[in-house]
Amino acid sequence: QVQLVESGGGLVQAGGSLRLSCAASGRTFSSRAMGWFRQTPGKEREFVAAISWSSGSTYYADSVKGRFTISRDHAKNTVYLQMNSLNPEDTAVYYCAAGSSWFRPTSADFGSWGQGTQVTVSS
């Protein structure tokens, strides 16, 4: 089991930026990949970005390509999501996840989840 704690969410104006952090502990050696998902009321959880622990290779949802950047710091067991050019459609609860696949993953590829952090983008 991997324990994940997200931080960095908050309220930001449209066009602004936020950086989310996800601190991992526990059996981190068992996870090949880390990912970010988001969810709004009435919608299914949506994939945002994923990264390979070993290579740093990344994969993004089309909706965030060119605006969001996922990265990792092995020494800190931490994954980041840098979000730029935010718009109100990015408003959601953002969840960090640890799992087995970084390339075109689904929620089923991730066995450990954080509690989520709220991101609200105002117009």
The pLDDT value given to residue 19:
98
Q: Compute the distance between CA of residue 95 and CA of residue 37 in angstroms, rounded to an integer.
A: 5
pLDDT at 27: 81
Mean residue pLDDT of the chain comes to: 95
Six token digits for residue 41: 């009321």
- Kindly state the average pLDDT of the residues 88-103: 96
Of residues 72 and 31, more confidence is placed in 72
Please write the tens of the pLDDT for every residue from 19-66: 999 999 988 777 899 999 999 999 999 999 999 999 999 999 999 999
Q: CA-to-CA distance for 28 and 22, rounded, in angstroms?
A: 12
pLDDT above 80 for 69: yes
What mean pLDDT comes out for the span 72-85? 95
* pLDDT tops 90 at residue 12: yes
Q: How far apart are CA 81 and CA 74, in angstroms?
A: 15
pLDDT band at residue 95, thresholds of 50, 70 and 90?
A: very high
Confidence (pLDDT) at 78 = 95
109 sits in the region (left: phi over 0; alpha: psi -120 to 50; else beta) called alpha
Q: Say if CB 50 and CB 34 are below 8 A apart.
A: yes
